A = this chain, B = another copy of it.
């Protein structure tokens, strides 16, 4: 028998995965296998490069623990996480655009009254900021009973979960709108911060000549009865790194003015199908 070709080899592998009992698993596996094989052929991956890849993947896995998910960080820095958000939460024209969820959300943050502050631990570098506006439906009216789950890094660049000096749930709050659909969150101006670069994902950023910074932003999850939930950020227009966010999360429509202690932004939600 002559040598079989890479195409014939791929066909053999795909055939072996075609009898998967779970049709969705079959779809995902065969698509992933095809792309892996095409990648190997297209770059002409050498055995040494393949082995370096195997060792790199193992090292990424070894870096993971309950508080650190290095594969998610890698996915973020390769633009994959943002892509997953984009295709699953496609915003209708005129609604607030989504962006990455990120690894620092915490369930069960403190419920706060409109106008309350999320700052539990004040810091010297704090620059007060009030973010306010309306939550409204794409169909026009203000939304009563909309929930805004807000979180951000403290002025030292760390989230509470990264920093044992912060009180748990510092810089987090959950707000619910009244009949006027208005919201008002008191906080501090966000700062840009680096994602962890002490692991393999950071090493890859360095090897590829990329910095590891995110531009200054505040996280929001805005949900309301009868509407699609939006997961997004608001970015500070005066921040560095807006053109080179390490996780590719910036969208022009999410860049807002945060100087002068005030930020005005209306969230627009799409009615659920």
Hey, which bits of chain A sit against chain B, CB under 8 A? Answer: 1-4, 6, 9-10, 12-13, 16-17, 19-22, 25-29, 31-33, 35-47, 49-50, 54, 57-64, 69-72, 75, 78-88, 90-91, 93, 97, 101, 207-210, 244, 248, 251-253
Whether the pair B58, A97 counts as a contact (CB closer than 8 A) is: no
Minimum Cβ distance to chain B for residue A10 (Å): 7
Question: Which residues of B lie under 8 Å from residue A29 when comparing CB positions?
Answer: 208
Whether the pair B252, A6 counts as a contact (CB closer than 8 A) is: no
Minimum Cβ distance to chain B for residue A226 (Å): 21
Q: Which one of B13, B54, B83, B208 contacts A6 once the chains associate, using CB atoms below 8 Å?
A: B83
Whether the pair A86, B12 counts as a contact (CB closer than 8 A) is: no
Whether the pair B45, A13 counts as a contact (CB closer than 8 A) is: no
Whether the pair A80, B25 counts as a contact (CB closer than 8 A) is: no
Q: Which one of B36, B75, B101 contacts A78 once the chains associate, using CB atoms below 8 Å?
A: B36
Question: Which residues of B lie under 8 Å from residue A40 when comparing CB positions?
Answer: 80, 83-84, 87
The CA of A100 and the CA of B64, in the complex, are separated in Å by 30
Most buried by B among A57, A59, A62, A63: A57
The CA of A22 and the CA of B207, in the complex, are separated in Å by 8
The residue on B at minimum CB distance from A90 is B3
Of the A-B pairs whose beta carbons lie under 8 Å apart in the complex, a sample of 25, sorted by A's number, is A1-B252, A1-B253, A3-B86, A3-B93, A3-B251, A9-B79, A10-B79, A13-B79, A20-B207, A20-B209, A31-B43, A32-B39, A33-B79, A35-B36, A35-B39, A44-B87, A45-B84, A47-B85, A50-B81, A54-B72, A57-B71, A58-B61, A59-B61, A61-B62, A61-B64
Whether the pair B251, A1 counts as a contact (CB closer than 8 A) is: yes
Q: Which one of B12, B33, B62 contacts A64 once the chains associate, using CB atoms below 8 Å?
A: B62
Q: Which one of B75, B78, B252 contacts A54 once the chains associate, using CB atoms below 8 Å?
A: B75
Q: Which one of B13, B64, B87 contacts A58 once the chains associate, using CB atoms below 8 Å?
A: B64
The residue on B at minimum CB distance from A3 is B91
Question: Which residues of B lie under 8 Å from residue A207 when comparing CB positions?
Answer: 20, 22, 25
Most buried by B among A25, A43, A69: A43
Question: Which residues of B lie under 8 Å from residue A90 when comparing CB positions?
Answer: 3
Whether A9 contacts B86 in the complex (CB less than 8 A), given A58-B64, A91-B3, A207-B22, comes out as yes
Given A9-B79, A9-B86, A28-B49, 6 more pairs with CB closer than 8 A: A6-B86, A26-B208, A44-B88, A50-B84, A59-B61, A62-B62
